Structure 1
């Protein structure tokens, strides 16, 4: 699907799309992931849900800022190396400008009761966006696993829930959880092929 992207898509238009995403990226990673998903899957059809989930999983394995890596990967899929640069600059430019302006503004108003109240409301909204994003990323994984059979569905659910438990309660490093999940899936696949 991604190899047949619209060839008439200009780099300027691609920049504009990612610039608008960057302007809307309030709420952190979960909110941004939801915006990217809606844009690249639902609006433009650049990726399928399965491709989106696999690419996002690949970015989770890499160190660094995952959304930045994801943006570069999507940009490259859409328009090659130039697309990667254009998407990244488009995404980051509003955030950098806004961060500078908000830092100046916040330093002047941080003790204001109105500012403190506003910040209290933003946190739960961000958590809600993160939960929505987690659901949207997990849905194609569960659906694809269900198509492969009950065993794969069970494994997917164990990995989804087990990863959360390992990270939240056991406080294992993310890289260990990702490697462990990959090993479990590889073992299950090897066992299935016997």
Structure 2
């Protein structure tokens, strides 16, 4: 009987290439931020994992999970952690500058235009359409980030995710209280499962 073929692996980062330069980091994050109408997370994952292959899907999820529990905007935290991982403090600054620099400049201009023309009804309808597109993009990235869990058939991780969603999304329990329970439980379950597998 032939041996069972191993499951398809998630594309690993190309470690043979040297890390991106500070300019490449700046440009990459500037592109992500300029494409990120309604949120940069979708484009950050696409650029970091799919396009440049600087991280695997699992590494991105783990890094984003860490950044989610730090104070401040998640994508800004991710930018600092990612830039620091590749190029230290200068990498963090380059990635952060690319992330916030171009959009900040655009927002100053757009703010001035909105102040002048914000009462126009057509503009309000356009902004409503942009809001719908932003929700669609967020749902798309949520499903993409769940893909590694489904591929590994990680039932425990999916169950914890569903329970946290129910607690916060449906029962409206405080985020901090849910996380204070969910984080230690997740760590304990992972530790126990790895111990059993060893």
Superposition TM-score tier, normalisation by shorter sequence: 0.7 to 0.9
Determine which structure has greater relative contact order: mean sequence separation of CA pairs < 8 Å that are 6+ residues apart, divided by chain length: 1
In structure 1, how many angstroms separate the alpha carbons of the residues matched to 2:29 and 2:190?
Answer: 38
Residue 13 of structure 1 aligns with which residue?
24
Pick aligned residue for 1:25 from 32, 36, 58: 36
Cα displacement (A) at 1:110 = 1.6
- Report whether the alignment pairs 1:49 with 2:57: yes
Residue 149 of structure 1 aligns with which residue?
none
Per the alignment, do residues 189 and 120 of structure 1 end up closer, same or farther by CA in structure 2, a change over 3 Å counting? Answer: closer
Moved more, 12-21 or 44-53: 12-21
Q: How does 1:90-169 map to 2 (within 5 A)?
A: 90-144=98-152, 146=153, 153-169=154-170
Cα displacement (A) at 1:189 = 3.9
- Report whether the alignment pairs 1:69 with 2:77: yes
Contact 2:81–2:92 under 8 Å retained in 1: yes
- Report whether the alignment pairs 1:170 with 2:164: no
Cα displacement (A) at 1:113 = 1.0
TM-score, normalised with respect to structure 1: 0.85
What's the CA shift string for 1:87-139, capped at 9, x where partnerless? 00011001211111111111122211101111121111111001001111122
In structure 2, how many angstroms separate the alpha carbons of the residues matched to 1:173 and 1:49?
Answer: 29
In structure 2, how many angstroms separate the alpha carbons of the residues matched to 1:8 and 1:50?
Answer: 19
Unaligned runs of 5+ in 2: 1-11
Per the alignment, do residues 15 and 155 of structure 1 end up closer, same or farther by CA in structure 2, a change over 3 Å counting? Answer: same
In structure 1, how many angstroms separate the alpha carbons of the residues matched to 2:65 and 2:168?
Answer: 16
Q: What is the number of equivalent residue pairs in this alignment?
A: 184
Unaligned runs of 5+ in 1: 147-152
Larger proportion of helix: 1
